[in-house]
Chains A and B, each alone.
Chain A
Amino acid sequence: MSTLVIAEHDGTQLDVATLGLLGAARQLGEPVHLLVLGHGVVSVAAEAAMVDGVAQVWLADDAAWQSPSAESLARLIEALMPAHQTLIAAHRMLLRAALPRAAARLQAAYLSDVVGIESGRRFVRPMYAGSVLAQVQVQAERCLLTLRPAGFAPVAGTQAACPVSAAPVVAVDDRSRLAHRETLSSTRPDLSRARVVVAAGRGVGACEHMALVEQLADRLGGAVGASRAAVDAGFAPNAIQVGQTGKTVAPDVYLAFGISGAIQHLAGIKDAGVIVAVNKDPDAPIFSVADLGLVGDLFEALPALTTGLPAAA
């Protein structure tokens, strides 16, 4: 049986996350197929066919796949899956909505946020906001998994292009209609992929003070994140919330300002390289996970770091 991976891309080229997903797929030891979906993505499929270890690329290229609903994507997965044993996709909102829907209809297992692969049928995933790691044995014939691409060794290298074939055509589920989508500023890197993240906690205090956080992020060429407390207090948008119920990040450096470090927040940063924390409370739990910690005033620290650290290239 084979493993099907859903490629991550921006419409023009593959995202580095795809290499992590393929790295995970390779651990299963079965032939690896890659699904590229979108509109006008023939070149992405051609690039995908040359990634080392991909046996077959499936291309679903249609206006319908530009911004699909979870219901439509579930139909496509349902059509593809009988030919594969395992599906691997990134742990993000659309896929977390589509995969379990497809799994129900396929009578397949669904596991979200897989962080370890022990065998083709045994996986590790966090529970209780990441405070427990559970070993899970799949009993169904097929399983559909989401995982954090940054947690797996990426594949590297190229090959002579493997075949690219058209994915089955399925009817779009258009009962739900996307009326409107907000997009964040595109001048900063995407939070889930950024190498540097500067994050604001409740200690930042007010909307006006976010500018200090943003200035440091821009200096370092990083993304801006926030704790749930900061979002609930109204000075950061939902979309940049990091934690158990928000985004997970895996930067090389995560700088947390005024973040206490509740377990639900730490669940989102477990794959960060270096965690730096500035908080005026010496007992803040963040200091138990921070590699570098300063008990101090973030309103002094933020401007000092912005001028004192080298500007990103």
Chain B
Amino acid sequence: MQVLVFVKRVVDHNVKVRVRADGTGVDTAGLKMSMNPFDEVAVEQAVRLRQAGVAGRVTVVACGPAVTQDVLRTALAMGADHAILLDPGAGSGEGPALIEALAALVQREGADLVLCGKQAIDDDLGDTVPMLAARLDWPQALSVNRLERTGDGLTVDCDGDLGLEQWQLPLPAVLGVDLRLCDPRAISLPNMMKAKKATITTVALAELAQGADAAALAPRFAVTGCATPPARAPGQRVDSLPQLLERLRQLPALNAGA
């Protein structure tokens, strides 16, 4: 089984983002960037599969300008075998062109399992896994928190609407992983030093996506403005439990008899 992991470089989850004063977008200049935490879990899971002898090779892919290499080197330091940077050129590196390029790469690399975080913490869209799965016409599973190779396929536990669901899927498949799947390992300094010297292959997104026609690759939406959400009106502190009880008793929703 060959595994491909797609990772995204995002604003670090501890950093508070600010909307630009002119409302055109979010100002990320100078902010700490990291691998999307869900993607980090995907890398860890892939490496564990290889270490257990279940997977043969782990290829990690990211899309962005040259600076994106830092998250690829983190993945290499975690144990990924091979890293590829997709260069978006003048494009945004998102949307249908990215999906088309990833699909081409999956086929070129001969991967039969794609692992990815279930959502990116910047856009919170959660669309990459289902869209890539659709493009490849492969089965998909989202919010995977347990994964086991069984027979020729996989058994996964996923978060469903009513509770935990256990699915059996054949390979090849695309999975969107949840944080609970596994804990990413700490990176050792020797591994990071080795990763800094590793060769990362760069491929132009346009080159991989050239099979499809321009209309199919055109972005389907654009963010035209950003705003800070209105703050809730300031609340009140009460000083004691009896005061809290008194205030709660006044709430219509908690007054069954009213």
Residues of A whose CB lies within 8 Å of any CB of B are 69-71, 74, 92-94, 96-105, 107-113, 122, 126-140, 143, 173, 175-184, 195-196, 220-221, 232, 237-239, 244-245, 251-253, 263-264, 270, 273-276, 278, 287, 289-296, 300-301, 304-305, 308-313
What secondary structure prevails in chain B residues at the interface with A? mixed
Partner of A128, one of B26, B139, B218, B221: B26
- List of B residues within 8 angstroms of A291 by Cβ: 232-233, 235-236
Q: List 28 A-B contacts (CB under 8 A).
A: A70-B140, A99-B130, A100-B125, A102-B134, A104-B130, A110-B125, A128-B11, A128-B121, A131-B228, A134-B223, A136-B223, A139-B220, A175-B139, A176-B168, A177-B168, A177-B169, A178-B166, A179-B155, A238-B145, A239-B164, A245-B118, A291-B232, A291-B235, A293-B238, A294-B240, A294-B244, A301-B241, A305-B248
By beta carbon, the residue of chain B nearest A313 is B256
Q: A278–B91 Cα gap in the complex (Å)?
A: 48
Sample of 11 more A-B contacts, CB < 8 Å, known A292-B235, A301-B244:
A93-B143, A93-B159, A101-B130, A104-B96, A127-B26, A179-B155, A179-B166, A183-B163, A291-B233, A308-B245, A312-B256
Q: A180–B167 Cα gap in the complex (Å)?
A: 7
C-beta contact mask, B129-173 vs A, less than 8 Å → 1, else 0? 011111100011111010000000001000111111111111000
Q: Is A184 a contact partner of B219 (Cβ separation < 8 A)?
A: no
Given contacts A93-B160, A100-B127, contact A292 B238 (CB under 8 A): yes
Interface residues contributed by chain B, number (CB under 8 Å):
81
Q: Is A132 a contact partner of B228 (Cβ separation < 8 A)?
A: yes
Given contacts A71-B139, A184-B162, A238-B180, contact A179 B168 (CB under 8 A): yes
Q: How many A-B residue pairs have CB under 8 A?
A: 252
Partner of B134, one of A104, A176, A239: A104
C-beta contact mask, B208-234 vs A, less than 8 Å → 1, else 0? 000000011011111111111100110
Among B162, B170, B245: residue with most chain A CB under 10 A? B162
Given contacts A103-B131, A289-B235, A292-B236, contact A137 B221 (CB under 8 A): yes
Q: A246–B78 Cα gap in the complex (Å)?
A: 27
Given contacts A179-B168, A180-B165, contact A139 B219 (CB under 8 A): yes
Q: Is A292 a contact partner of B244 (Cβ separation < 8 A)?
A: yes
Shortest beta-carbon distance, B25 to chain A, in Å?
Answer: 8
Q: A289–B254 Cα gap in the complex (Å)?
A: 20
Given contacts A132-B17, A239-B163, contact A294 B253 (CB under 8 A): no
Q: A113–B119 Cα gap in the complex (Å)?
A: 13
The yes or no answer to B22 lying at the interface (CB within 8 A) is no
The yes or no answer to B190 lying at the interface (CB within 8 A) is no
Q: Is A94 a contact partner of B130 (Cβ separation < 8 A)?
A: no
Q: Is B163 a contact partner of A176 (Cβ separation < 8 A)?
A: no
Residues of B whose CB lies within 8 Å of any CB of A are 11, 13, 16-17, 19, 26, 96, 99, 118-119, 121-127, 130-135, 139-143, 145, 155, 159-170, 178-180, 215-216, 218-229, 232-233, 235-241, 243-245, 247-249, 251-257
Q: A194–B173 Cα gap in the complex (Å)?
A: 36
Q: Is B11 a contact partner of A137 (Cβ separation < 8 A)?
A: no
Among B141, B222, B235: residue with most chain A CB under 10 A? B235
- List of A residues within 8 angstroms of B256 by Cβ: 221, 310-313
Shortest beta-carbon distance, A119 to chain B, in Å?
Answer: 12
Q: Is B168 a contact partner of A107 (Cβ separation < 8 A)?
A: no
Shortest beta-carbon distance, B183 to chain A, in Å?
Answer: 10
- List of A residues within 8 angstroms of B253 by Cβ: 195-196, 251-253, 273-274
Q: Is A101 a contact partner of B226 (Cβ separation < 8 A)?
A: no
- List of B residues within 8 angstroms of A308 by Cβ: 245, 249
Given contacts A93-B142, A128-B121, A181-B160, contact A133 B236 (CB under 8 A): no
By beta carbon, the residue of chain B nearest A71 is B139
Among B161, B178, B240: residue with most chain A CB under 10 A? B161
Q: Is B255 a contact partner of A310 (Cβ separation < 8 A)?
A: yes
Q: A98–B11 Cα gap in the complex (Å)?
A: 28
By beta carbon, the residue of chain B nearest A179 is B166
Given contacts A93-B160, A138-B221, A181-B165, contact A310 B254 (CB under 8 A): yes
Q: A128–B226 Cα gap in the complex (Å)?
A: 11
Shortest beta-carbon distance, B61 to chain A, in Å?
Answer: 18
Q: Is B167 a contact partner of A107 (Cβ separation < 8 A)?
A: no
- List of B residues within 8 angstroms of A251 by Cβ: 253
